[in-house]
Amino acid sequence: MNISKTDIGVLNSVLNVKIEKADYSEKVEKSVREIKRKVNLKGFRQGMVPTGLVKKMYGKNVLIEEVNKILSESLLSYIKDNKINILYEPLILENNLEKIDLNDDPTFEFAFEIGISPEINIVFDKNEKIPFYNISIDNESIENYKAYYLHYYGSYITAEQSDEKSILEGRIAQINDDGRETENGLSKENVKLYVSIVEDEEFKSQLIGIKVGDTVKFDIKKVFHNDDKIAELLNIKKQNLNLTSTNFIYIVSAITKYKESEINQEFWDKIYGKDEVTSEEQFLEKIKSEIFANNKVKSEFKLKTDIRNRLMEKATFELPNTFLKKWIKKNSKKELTDEIFNKEYAAYQQDMKWQLIKEKYINENQFKVTDNEIKEMAVKFALEQYRQYGAISVSEKLLEDMTNSILKNEKERIEKIIIEDKVLDFVKNLINLEIKEVSIDEFQKLK
């Protein structure tokens, strides 16, 4: 057995492997004996088939199988013993299997190309700083939060007269030139019209200020523009749309509008739970604490992004690009043109660089992710999803169901987030944070 290493480029080498008869003959003989013991062949008792016949029938396959085992084991041992930190699995360049006679105790030769992981050395100066932004709470943010809750917990009410925010319900029907409904013409009951999204300004103005029982005349082609929209409105197939007349009427049967919630105990109970808030002052403090928590998340995310960028700037190592390009092309599940490949490879380089930086800190500090940490983050994600829909208080059963669903579908993503957070938190302690007070507008303008 002989393995030699030849450097062919930056972090790029070839491993040449030579496997001779002495390396495999004993293993092949042992495998042949095992096959002989088990094989059933007509005319012979089990275990009594002549060795020569067994070799003739199975020898070549046994030889190749044993050589592949030796090859795999020896490669792994060589890489481990020589402390070669490789990226991905080796790429086979050549072998002589097709050129040799397997019946002649041949010498096998293989060549593998490897990409070697670079050494990463990142040093932070003791005076190095990175900004952390404290976002102030302004009146506009408070009013926006309040407006959100008032709207979210509002309700639809019946109205006597329509305005530009009303929802109308009524009957739509085709009419003749004399204004009477067309016999066997197109019509539809319970058609809802949202005044605010009606595009035709003339028709919209007709819908404002009307009452139940009022009738509005309009040209359906002018208002709804194309046959697809008209067919959908009338709930018929497009091919059944018979517009002998484009004149229609809309007879209003109901008017509703959305009314924002009133600020009272019932309103506060809906948001925070019974009697958790009992005054406008407490409500204001709750809003401020929510804004503070939300701003802190934004600031922490910005800090982590800045730390990541700083690490990427400081890590000036090279990658074995020649090897990586070959490896990606060989293992890609889609065909890549040179233009697309070069564009995607630039992004891939950045991802690979970041992955190697993370692995450096993970390995040096033996960071691990526990099941409890995964569960805690899944619960956090579940609560955030409910809060997006305005649910501040969630029952244990609903929270458990959502958490289990997240764990089932997103466990791997959560593990990656946690381990990356551990790396960034570790690096954060190596850098001096420079606290900066900013408004939300100033924060949003930061890159």
Question: Last residue of some domain: 259, 289, 322?
Answer: 259
Instruction: Give me the sheet containing 12-19, strands edge to edge.
Output: 2-9, 12-19, 108-116, 86-95
| 419, 323: one domain | yes
Q: Does 279 or 101 have the greater pLDDT score?
A: 279
Instruction: Kindly tell me if the per-residue pLDDT of 21 is higher than 80.
Output: yes
Residue 112 lies in a domain: yes
Instruction: Kindly tell me if the per-residue pLDDT of 390 is higher than 70.
Output: no
State the CATH number of the domain containing residue 107: 3.30.70.1050
The percentage of residues in the chain with a pLDDT greater than 70, rounded to a whole number, is: 99
Instruction: Kindly tell me if the per-residue pLDDT of 65 is higher than 80.
Output: yes
| 348, 404: one domain | yes
Instruction: Kindly tell me if the per-residue pLDDT of 395 is higher than 70.
Output: yes
Instruction: Kindly tell me if the per-residue pLDDT of 182 is higher than 80.
Output: yes
Q: What is the pLDDT of residues 200-245, one digit of tens each?
A: 999 999 999 999 999 999 999 999 988 999 999 999 998 888 888 8
Band (pLDDT 50/70/90 cuts) for residue 392 is low
| 91, 136: one domain | no
Mean pLDDT, range 49-70, rounded to an integer: 87
Looking at the chain, how many residues does it have? 447
Contact of 119 with 228, CB cutoff 8 Å: no
SS (H, E, C) the chain: CEEEEEEEECCEEEEEEEECHHHHHHHHHHHHHHHHHHCCCCCCCCCCCCHHHHHHHHHHHHHHHHHHHHHHHHHHHHHHHCCCCEEEEEEEEEECHHHCCCCCCCCEEEEEEEEECCCCCCCCCCCCEEEEEEECCCHHHHHHHHHHHHHHCCEEEECCECCCCCEEEEEEEEECCCCCECCCCCEEEEEEEEHHHCCCHHHHHHHCCCECCCEEEEEHHHHHCCHHHHHHHHCCCHHHCCCCCCEEEEEEEEEEEEECCCCCHHHHHHHHCCCCCCCHHHHHHHHHHHHHHHHHHHHHHHHHHHHHHHHHHHCCCCCCHHHHHHHHHHHCCCCCCHHHHHHHHHHHHHHHHHHHHHHHHHHHHCCCCCHHHHHHHHHHHHHHHHHHCCCCCCCHHHHHHHHHHHHHHHHHHHHHHHHHHHHHHHHHCCCEEEEEEECHHHHHCCC
| 231, 171: one domain | yes
| 413, 435: one domain | yes
| 295, 427: one domain | yes
Q: Does 129 or 51 have the greater pLDDT score?
A: 129
| 379, 292: one domain | yes
Instruction: Kindly tell me if the per-residue pLDDT of 336 is higher than 90.
Output: no
Residue 394 lies in a domain: yes
| 415, 439: one domain | yes
- Cβ atoms within 10 Å of 398's Cβ, excluding its own: 12
Residue 125 lies in a domain: no
Give dist(CA 242, CA 238) in Å, integer: 9
What's the domain count of the chain? Answer: 3
Residue 269 lies in a domain: no
Band (pLDDT 50/70/90 cuts) for residue 302 is very high
Question: Last residue of some domain: 259, 292, 312?
Answer: 259
Residue 381 lies in a domain: yes
Q: What is the mean pLDDT of the chain?
A: 92
* Predicted local distance difference test score (pLDDT) of residue 113: 96
Mean pLDDT, range 93-119, rounded to an integer: 86
Instruction: Kindly tell me if the per-residue pLDDT of 389 is higher than 80.
Output: no
Q: Does 331 or 72 have the greater pLDDT score?
A: 72
The percentage of residues in the chain with a pLDDT greater than 90, rounded to a whole number, is: 72
Q: Does 101 or 120 have the greater pLDDT score?
A: 120
Mean pLDDT, range 12-30, rounded to an integer: 93
| 218, 253: one domain | yes
| 61, 104: one domain | yes
Can you read off the two tokens belonging to residue 123?
A: 């040093």
Weakest-pLDDT range from 48-52, 131-135, 297-301, 439-443: 48-52
| 253, 295: one domain | no
Mean pLDDT, range 291-305, rounded to an integer: 95
* Predicted local distance difference test score (pLDDT) of residue 36: 86
Residue 126 lies in a domain: no
Residue 121 lies in a domain: no
Mean pLDDT, range 88-98, rounded to an integer: 86
State the CATH number of the domain containing residue 249: 3.10.50.30
Weakest-pLDDT range from 24-33, 111-120, 281-290, 391-400: 391-400
Instruction: Kindly tell me if the per-residue pLDDT of 74 is higher than 70.
Output: yes
| 102, 212: one domain | no
Residue 43 lies in a domain: yes
Domain containing 304: what range? 131-144+279-444
